């Protein structure tokens, strides 16, 4: 059908911002390829025209295989929302090095894998959008965000490099950096001091941004004309001074 909307791929789609983004884009009529390690949580949402695939963003082959499944059903990926990520907030000198590896592998390698997997098709079609979900911690340095913040600074840097590369093919690369938001981040914080710092900020902001507001911002950016690239978006609760 001529009016059929293109495929949107979302990683980390089983909870938090990713899950709400899936709801928002589904309501706007987009077919979805939803990547998560817990696909049963996606399937329980009952979204129309959505394919949930169990894949770890650290596994390039698994991610590429998921894309093949989605494109066989819905056509080429026109928008990748690289949302999968973890927090693991802590001071570097107090943190288990195993957590560093998790942060780097998911927050950095996962973003690279996603972009690399969709880039050839987008270049060939000279059309597409990549939205990398970063954090305000990718622009500012906060206590207990040592390694996490480093991974998000990486997301900004690699996104800018990729944006410059893909501009020649008329493919958009965007970064969105939420501030304190209502999410499942507290479930991944294992250091009490880090949790207290984060929780204190959240309480000052009535829990922080709703995931729906972040998702609707990404939908707005994606639906702009293809010749308009909203390169960087920083979105916070109005009361967030820090």
H helix or E strand, kind and range, residue 132:
strand 129-133
- Specify the length of the chain in residues: 242
In whole angstroms, how far apart are CA 240 and each of 17, 19, 147, 156, 236?
A: 19, 24, 22, 21, 6
Give the separation between CA 227 and CA 220, rounded to whole angstroms: 14
CA-closest candidate to residue 105, choices 91, 84, 120, 90 = 84
Give the separation between CA 239 and CA 78, rounded to whole angstroms: 35
The residues, any chain, with a CB within 8 Å of residue 1's CB and separated by 6 or more, are: none
Please give the backbone phi and psi of residue 189, each rounded to the nearest 5 degrees, phi first: -95, 120
Q: Write out the catalytic residue numbers.
A: 148
Q: Is the pTM of this model over 0.75?
A: yes
Quickly list H helices, the chain.
16-27, 39-43, 60-74, 97-103, 110-125, 146-167, 192-204, 211-223
pLDDT of residue 190: 74
pLDDT of residue 204: 77
129 has pLDDT over 50: yes
132 has pLDDT over 80: yes
155 has pLDDT over 50: yes
**Per residue in 170-190, pLDDT tens?**
999 999 999 988 876 666 677
CATH topology of domain 7-231: Rossmann fold (3.40.50)
pLDDT of residue 201: 75
The domain segmentation of the chain, as residue ranges, is 7-231
134 has pLDDT over 90: yes
CA-closest candidate to residue 84, choices 64, 113, 123, 62 = 113
pLDDT of residue 226: 98
**pLDDT tier, 98 (very low <50, low <70, confident <90, very high otherwise):** very high
Q: Work out the percent of the chain whose per-residue pLDDT is above 70.
A: 97
**pLDDT tier, 23 (very low <50, low <70, confident <90, very high otherwise):** very high
CA-closest candidate to residue 122, choices 133, 111, 114, 134 = 114
pLDDT of residue 137: 92
**pLDDT tier, 192 (very low <50, low <70, confident <90, very high otherwise):** confident
Give the separation between CA 145 and CA 198, rounded to whole angstroms: 10
Q: Residue 225, class by beta-carbon neighbours within 10 Å (0-12 exposed, 13-18 middle, 19+ buried)?
A: exposed
Q: Residue 227, class by beta-carbon neighbours within 10 Å (0-12 exposed, 13-18 middle, 19+ buried)?
A: exposed
Looking at residues 193-208, what average pLDDT do you find? 77
The residues, any chain, with a CB within 8 Å of residue 189's CB and separated by 6 or more, are: 87, 88, 89, 90, 195, 198
**pLDDT tier, 242 (very low <50, low <70, confident <90, very high otherwise):** confident
> Within 13 Å and on the Cβ side, how many CA atoms surround 26?
21
Average pLDDT, the chain: 93
Q: Are 137 and 152 in contact (CB under 8 A)?
A: yes
Indicate the range of 91-95, 121-125, 131-135, 238-242 predicted with least confidence.
Answer: 238-242
Higher pLDDT, 198 or 40: 40
Give the separation between CA 169 and CA 112, rounded to whole angstroms: 19
């Amino acid at each position: 059908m001529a009016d059929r909307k293109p495929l949107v791929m979302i990683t980390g789609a089983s909870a938090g911002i990713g899950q709400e983004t899936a709801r928002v884009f589904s309501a706007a009529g987009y077919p979805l390829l939803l990547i998560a390690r817990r696909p049963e949580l996606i399937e329980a949402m009952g979204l129309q025209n959505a394919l949930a695939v169990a894949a770890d963003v650290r596994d390039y082959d698994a991610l590429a295989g998921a894309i093949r499944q989605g494109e066989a059903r819905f056509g080429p990926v026109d928008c990748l929302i690289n949302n999968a990520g973890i927090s693991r907030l802590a001071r570097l000198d107090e943190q288990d090095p195993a957590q560093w590896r998790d942060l780097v592998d998911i927050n950095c390698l996962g973003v690279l894998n996603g972009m690399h997997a969709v880039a050839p098709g987008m270049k060939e079609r000279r059309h597409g959008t990549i939205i990398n979900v970063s954090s305000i911690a990718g622009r500012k340095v906060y206590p207990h965000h040592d390694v996490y913040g480093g991974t998000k600074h990486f997301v900004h840097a690699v996104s800018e490099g990729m944006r410059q590369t893909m501009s020649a093919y008329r493919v958009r690369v965007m970064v969105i950096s939420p501030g304190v938001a209502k999410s499942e981040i507290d479930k991944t914080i294992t250091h009490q001091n880090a949790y207290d710092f984060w929780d204190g900020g959240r309480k000052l902001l009535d829990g922080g941004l709703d995931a729906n507001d972040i998702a609707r911002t990404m939908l707005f950016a994606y639906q702009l004309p293809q010749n308009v690239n909203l390169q960087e978006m920083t979105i916070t609760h109005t009361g967030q001074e820090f």
